[in-house]
Structure 1
Amino acid sequence: MTIEPKILQYVLTLVEEKNFTKAAKKLHLAQPSLSYQITKLEKDLGVQLFIREYNEVVPTYAGSVFVSYATNILNQYRYLKNEIIDISELKKGSLTIGSLVSAGAHLLPNAISAFRKEFPGIDLKLVEDTSHELQDMVASGKIEICLLSLPIKNHGIETENILEEDIYLAVPPDHWLSAYQEVELSMCREEPFIALKNTNTFRTQSDELCQEAGFAPNIVFESTNINTCQSLVLADIGITIVPQMFLDESELKEKPKYLPFTINGKRPKRTLVVGYKNIGYVSKASRAFIEILKNISQ
């Protein structure tokens, strides 16, 4: 048997008013309708809840027990409604964000700061990992959203573009390519390359760019850190491909020569995206963070 919250409220109001007519008026019901609901409840429960006297109703022992539980249940119901409203209005809750280490270090601090100021009741958590692991975590629901770069291989993820940036070649300052203001990537087919490890999506994009230019890169060294790749360039070990955000914010005291390049006359771009599970629903907290991230990245 299921007892609706409104029936519990009928009982509590009747106890408070001690009279069917007064209780019905307070509940905006017809008196016969209230009497019917209470009688039906007693029949369904198999016990008498009220002693009906001439001008007053008094709860029985069973009625008193019912009232005690009904009061607690309705209080919990109100607490639940209020909490859900708070969550819906972003007054409280939690949000777990995933990010690539490199991209997150550049874009997330300002976004997190702005979000915390606007929604102080939302507890933010950050998970940093490889693109492959982050995609799996989003698709499985372990994290709500994550900052990634294209291409995305997991079909269980939907994406929204956050930032599009240019890509550059980083070469030693005295390298023969440094004499150029801009190069065609195919000019580098004989050059040794330093690359990120193949768990990184920017490595995937870099390999695809070289293939588009008509060659497979001769990779002589791999690293998980793009600044390490640039340090190896300065050591004259090879050249590397670098996203624009690392040009001005590099931790290196010395910097390689950065060259814009084209493939068949077109400048390539890197696209950073926010990914979330492809289920047709994005929480209000996730949506709010995405919009803040978009605004900051403009």
Structure 2
Amino acid sequence: MNDAEELLHDLDMLLKESNFTKAAKQLYISQPYLTQLIKRIEQKVGAKIINRDSKPFTLTEAGLIYYKYLENVSYNDQQLERKLAQFSHPDKEVIRIGILESLGSYLLPKILPTFLKLHPNAEIQLFEAFPRKTERRLSNEEIDCYIGQTPEAISGGFDVYTNGDEQYYIIIPASSQYFQPNKFILQDDELEIKELLQQPLVLSQPESAVRHQLNGLFQKYHVKPKIVMESNSVITVANLVVKGVGLTISSASILKRLQHLPINLLPIKRELLMIKYFIALKQGKQHSKAIKDLVNIFQQTKLEQTIH
């Protein structure tokens, strides 16, 4: 029978089209084949997996369990392939990097092209997760290095190499009472930070490195934040605020990616809040030349981002 990834794709298309003929056409297979495939699955499961008596098609309770099973099989297959890569491709060195997704979208394009020119046979595997999970992976040697921000927050047992110094800003949308027309970057003393922190806020999730820093800022000003929404994505947070959902605090590298104006940016003094990027390795472990080169490239690359 088809592998888990292919079966997931077949089910997704059938649920999307809610029609066997249309789904089969999109999947480049025949309608009788798709019909028989679903019947074979239901015989194996011992129950219907799709409600197809009405539209749109939906998964039955048994179908939901089977779908989740396929997702787990697919994930485990991918993890197995990752773990076996060093044996199945002995000519390649596998470099496993732990990083937050939003951070990776900014930092990795600055670092990896240079590294891969130096090590063209290296295979990069990314493990994207929140900081605490990434720390555990590095401690358990499930990854080779951890690229993050806020080195002060990282636990002991790691060699930490820092680079970059980036400023934070409070984003003030045009819909806010604090918005000042015909201005972009305000003076850092034009508005009271404490007053802005008491407004409705859109923030990243509590597990994020940014949120860890912001919690320290709230404590400093004795503010209990009014959080109207949280997101795993700092890009989503920033765009929601631009559209008037609330206020937030974001960094220059994130703000550079915003397409929506007008907004005001109130700089936060670096002694209160700032970004410093780091790459961490597990202490006491012998590291390959490729890993050492990755650290050197990280330290030598200009990572600072500014806004004018």
- Pick the TM interval, shorter chain: 0.5 to 0.7
Opposite residue 107 of structure 2, the aligned amino acid is: L
Residue 248 of structure 2 corresponds to residue 248 of structure 1 = no
Name the CA shift for 1:144/1:170 in 2 (closer, same or farther; >3 Å). Answer: same
SS state at 1:297 partner: coil
Residue of structure 2 in register with 1:140 after alignment: 140
Counterpart AA for 1:292: I
Matching residue of 1:80:
none
- Per-residue CA deviations over 1:242-293 (Å, capped at 9, x if unaligned) read 011111123x344632211248xx4521111111112264432111011112
Within 2, Cα distance between the matches of 1:131 and 1:288? 23
Q: Give, in angstroms, the shift of residue 240 of structure 1.
A: 0.4
2:54 match: none
Tell me what 1:175 maps to.
176
Distance 2:269 2:219 in 1: 13
Distance 1:153 1:293 in 2: 18
Residue type of the alignment partner of 1:284: K
Among 257, 260, 264, the alignment partner of 1:257 is 264
Query: Amino acid of the residue matched to residue 263 of structure 2?
Result: P
Instruction: For residue 169 of structure 1, report the CA deviation from its aligned partner.
Output: 0.4
Question: In structure 1, how many angstroms separate the alpha carbons of the residues matched to 2:243 and 2:285?
Answer: 49
**Distance change (3 Å), C-alpha of 1:184 and 1:279:** farther
* Structural mapping, 1:37-186, within 5 Å: 93-150=93-150, 151-179=152-180, 180-182=186-188, 183-186=191-194
Amino acid corresponding to residue 230 of structure 1 in structure 2: A
Aligned residues: 206
SS at match of 1:257: strand
Q: Contact 2:173–2:241 (CA<8 Å) still a contact in 1?
A: yes
| Residue of structure 1 equivalent to 2:220 | 212
What is the percentage of aligned positions where both structures have the same residue? 22
Is this contact kept in 1: 2:96–2:145, CA < 8 A?
A: yes
Deviation at 1:199, TM superposition (A): 1.3
The residue matched to 2:146 in structure 1 has which SS?
A: strand
Distance in 1 of aligned mates of 2:226 and 2:269: 19
Give deviations 1:70-126, integer Å, cap 9, x for gaps: xxxxxxxxxxxxxxxxx9xxx952211111111111110231111111111222222
In structure 2, distance between residues paired with 1:141 and 1:229: 32
Partner of 2:294: 289
How far, CA to CA, are the matches of 1:168 and 1:206 in structure 2?
Answer: 12
CA contact (8 A) 2:92 2:122 kept: yes
Give TM-score scaled by structure 1 length: 0.63
* 1:14 counterpart residue number: none
Q: Deviation digits for residues 17-57 of structure 1, max 9, x if unmatched?
A: xxxxxxxxxxxxxxxxxxxxxxxxxxxxxxxxxxxxxxxxx
Q: Distance in 1 between matches of 2:265 and 2:233?
A: 18
| Equivalent residue letter for 1:297 | K
Q: One-letter code of the match for 1:273?
A: F
Q: Quick one: distance in 2 between partners of 1:285 and 1:255?
A: 45
The match for 1:225 is 233
TM-score, normalising length from structure 2? 0.61
Please say which structure displays the higher CA radius of gyration: 1
Given that residues 95 and 125 in structure 2 are in contact (C-alpha distance below 8 angstroms), is that contact kept between their aligned partners in structure 1?
yes
- 1:171/1:257 contact within 8 Å kept: yes
Q: Which whole-Å CA distance do the structure 1 matches of 2:260 and 2:243 have between them? A: 13
Question: Is the CA contact 1:139–1:278 (under 8 Å) kept in the aligned structure 2?
Answer: no
Per-residue CA deviations over 1:163-218 (Å, capped at 9, x if unaligned) read 22000101112423333532442232431111101111111111111211232222
Q: Which runs of 4+ in 1 moved over 6 A?
A: none
